[in-house]
Structure 1
C-alpha cells in the first residue's frame, strides 16, 4: 500500500470509529436473515458496535449520525466459507502456509492440532475479502499429513487476533484421504473406531499400537461428548451414508463440507439434522466421488428439509469473494432466494456456534453489515460500504492499490513506470 493510501485508510478508520458510536442506516432494503425476512424502506440503529433496533421510521436520537441507503440492499456481512484466510499468504510458498500438520513419523490423526494458533490478522487476504462483503470465515485445518486434520474456528475479518466461538474438528473421508488411511475407505472407519476406543479409555494409552497422543485423546474425547462440531469433508453418497450411521452410533454433532452427492441422501440428512455446506458450482463428475454432481444439489437438499450452507473447493482463501456466485447459482437452480442468503449468513453462524453474534440483522447482534449496489447474490453487484462492529471499513486492499497504481497513465512512460 502506498503512503497516500495508508493515510487515507487511517483517516477512514478514524471516521469509522467516530461514526460507529451511534448511527442510523435509513431507507434500506434490509435482508435480516431472520424470520422477519426482508424489510423494505427500513432503518437500522447501531450503537457501540451492536444493532439496537431494526424497523421502519426509527426515531433518531439527538446527535446521532444518519446514513441514507437510498433503498439499496443491506445484509449481514457474509460468510467466506471454510478457508485458510489468515493461515496462508502464497499457497505455493510453504513458509507462508500453516493450515496442516505433517510430522516426520506418519500419524493418521492429530486432533489436538489447532490451526487458529497460526492465524495472522494482518494477512493481506483479509482486506481483499472484506471489501467484497465477507465478514467472517471458518478457518480450517487441512489434511496435509493426517486425515483427522485438527481443529479450526470462526474468525471475524475485522482485524481482531482471536477466533470467536467454539473450535471445530476437521476430518476428510473418501478418496481425498486414501493416501493417509491405508489406501482404503474401509480403513478410514477402522482407524476412526480405534481412535474412539482410545479416547474413551477402552484401549490403554500405553498400547504400542495407539494412534493418538494423550493430548489427542483428550481433544477427541471433548468432541465425542458433544462439545464442538466435527466437519467431515466428504462427497460420495456411499461414504455419507456410512458417516450418518457412524455419527448416530457415536452421538456426534457433525456437518458436511462438499457433499457433492449429498442430494441422494436428503431425507436421511434432514432426519439427522446435519447441515451441509455445498459447492454449488460442482456440476461435473470430476472424479469417482463426484459422479452424481448436479447444480440442483442445494435445491434438492433444501426441498428435503436439510439446512444448506456454502463453501467452495480449490483456492478458496484467495477467492472467498466468489462464494456469492455459489449462492447465486444455487438460487438460479431452484433454491429459494432467502435460503441462498441464509446459507451465507445465518446458517454458518448457527452451525459453528457464533449465531449469537453474527449472521443476522437483529437487535443485540454485532453490527457487521454490508450495503450492496444491487442484488447481493448477483455477481454484477458490488459491496459499496462495509461495517464491521459498527466501524466503516476502508474499501481498499492490496489489489485496489495495485489497480490504482497501474491504471494511472503517464505521458512519457509505460504504465509500469507511472510511479
Structure 2
C-alpha cells in the first residue's frame, strides 16, 4: 500500500453512531504532528467570495491551506480523507467566553476573569489572557463541537470597564493570536457599578477619556486611571484595538454611537437586544453586533424590544452579525450553533449564519487574515461535519487545527464511556 492513507467517512443515517465510534476514532488517531492531508469530495463552505463548493477538495500542507478546488492530487506522503460529500467548514467561533480562564464558576480559585479592587476599580490595563490555561478541561469540551477559537472576555463584575482579552485558538497554544480588545458594560446591568445610574457611566467615561488624552494632570487627586490605564485607554482611543460594549437598550446604543463617533474609536456591541431598532445607524457606522439570537422576552427593562428576528433585521440593513451568549458561555460554548441556527430559522440567510460563526468574528476581532474562512494561505482550522453544522441534531465528525487532527474526546466523553461500560469492564465506581 502507498504512503497515502485513505480514511472513508461514509455514514448512512441509521449507522451514524457507529461511524462516530469507529471511523472517527481512526481519524483522531492521526499523529498530532501530521499536518499534510487532502480532504477529498467535500461540500466545502469556504465562507469567502467563492461561496460553497460541491464535490471539492482541500489540500493542507504545513498546517496551512495550499489549494481549494476539484480533482486535486495528493502529493506523496499526504493522507487522504474521503469526505463523501459531507460539509466542511472553517472551525467555529466559541463566542465571548472565559474558556481557559475559568474552570468552575462557583469556585473563586478557578476564576481569573474578574478584577475586584476597592481602590481605583477602573483598570483597563487588566488583561485576562495572561491567565489563560490551554490545558483547561473546557477546551476539548468546546472543541468537540467544532469550536476552534474564542474571544477571552474580561468580566465586568468588578467594574464597568472590565479589562482586556484576546482571541485564542483551542489547539493548545498559550498566547492570543491577534490584538487585544477592551470590554465594557453599559446600561442598567452596570448601574450598580456606577453610582446606581447609567448616566454616571458617560460621566466616568468622559473623565477617563480626558485623562487618557492628557487633559487631566496625572497627579490629580481625582484621577480614575493609573498611568498604565491611561496608556492602555489612549491606545484604543487612537484606533489601535476594538472596544466591545455589552449593551442592550436602544437609547444606550444611540448614546454609544454618538460617543464612538465623537472619540473616533472602533466599537462592537455584544448582546444588543434592541440593536435592530438602530440597524441603519449601526450599518452606516460600521459597527458589528454579537447577537444573543435566543433573546425573545423582556428579561429586563433594557430588553423590552427583544425579538428572535434581531439578527435577520440587522443583517438586512447591512450590519455585520456574529453571536454571543449571555449566561455561562464558557461551559455552554456548544450552544453557539444553536444561536446561529435559531437566527437562520427566524430569517437570517444560512450563509450569513455560518459567517457569523466563522469569518465575521475573526474579522471583527482582528484575526481574519489567519482564520475564519477556507482560503489558500490561511491556517487549516477545519471541521468535517456529519450533517448541517447549524442543526444541533448533527455533530462534528473531525476537527483539524493547523492541519492537526484533534482528539475527538473530552473528560465528559471519557466519563460517559466509563459509566456506560458493561459491568465488570471498568473499575466499580458506585454501589448499585
Give the TM interval when normalised to the shorter protein: over 0.9
CA contact (8 A) 1:150 1:170 kept: yes
Give the superposition deviation at 1:59: 2.4
Give the superposition deviation at 1:100: 1.0
For residues 57 and 377 of structure 2, what CA distance do their matches in structure 1 show?
15
Give the superposition deviation at 1:417: 4.0
Query: 1:399 aligned to 412, 421, 424, which one?
Result: 412
Q: Does 1:321 align with 2:334?
A: yes
Distance 1:28 1:171, change over 3 A: same
Counterpart residue number, 2:70: 56
Distance 1:413 1:60, change over 3 A: closer
For residues 322 and 193 of structure 2, what CA distance do their matches in structure 1 show?
28
Q: Does 1:117 align with 2:127?
A: no
For residues 86 and 187 of structure 1, what CA distance do their matches in structure 2 show?
33
Counterpart residue number, 1:167: 180
Give the superposition deviation at 1:237: 0.4
For residues 33 and 193 of structure 2, what CA distance do their matches in structure 1 show?
52
Q: Does 1:17 align with 2:39?
A: no
Give the superposition deviation at 1:416: 4.1
For residues 118 and 207 of structure 2, what CA distance do their matches in structure 1 show?
22
For residues 163 and 13 of structure 1, what CA distance do their matches in structure 2 show?
25
For residues 154 and 231 of structure 1, what CA distance do their matches in structure 2 show?
13
Of residues 97-106 and 83-92 in structure 1, the stretch that sits farther from structure 2 once superposed is 97-106
Aligned ranges 1:20-419 → 2 under 5 Å: 20=35, 22-105=36-119, 107=121, 109-410=122-423, 416-417=429-430
CA contact (8 A) 2:291 2:311 kept: yes
For residues 32 and 282 of structure 1, what CA distance do their matches in structure 2 show?
29
For residues 411 and 158 of structure 1, what CA distance do their matches in structure 2 show?
35
- Secondary structure of the 1:126 match is helix
CA contact (8 A) 1:368 1:390 kept: yes
Name stretches of at least 5 consecutive residues in structure 2 with no aligned partner: 1-23
Give the superposition deviation at 1:105: 1.9
Name stretches of at least 5 consecutive residues in structure 1 with no aligned partner: 1-8
- Secondary structure of the 1:95 match is helix
For residues 305 and 77 of structure 2, what CA distance do their matches in structure 1 show?
58
For residues 79 and 400 of structure 1, what CA distance do their matches in structure 2 show?
21
Could you report, residue by residue, the CA deviation over 1:150-196 in whole angstroms, capped at 9, with x for unpaired residues?
00000000011111100000000001110111111111000000000
Give the superposition deviation at 1:18: 4.9
For residues 161 and 289 of structure 1, what CA distance do their matches in structure 2 show?
37
Aligned length: 409
For residues 378 and 424 of structure 2, what CA distance do their matches in structure 1 show?
51
Distance 1:58 1:177, change over 3 A: same
Give the superposition deviation at 1:409: 2.9
Counterpart residue number, 1:4: none
For residues 81 and 10 of structure 1, what CA distance do their matches in structure 2 show?
27
Distance 1:105 1:36, change over 3 A: same
Could you report, residue by residue, the CA deviation over 1:115-135 in whole angstroms, capped at 9, with x for unpaired residues?
000001110000000011000
Counterpart residue number, 2:12: none
For residues 17 and 400 of structure 1, what CA distance do their matches in structure 2 show?
20
For residues 116 and 91 of structure 1, what CA distance do their matches in structure 2 show?
17
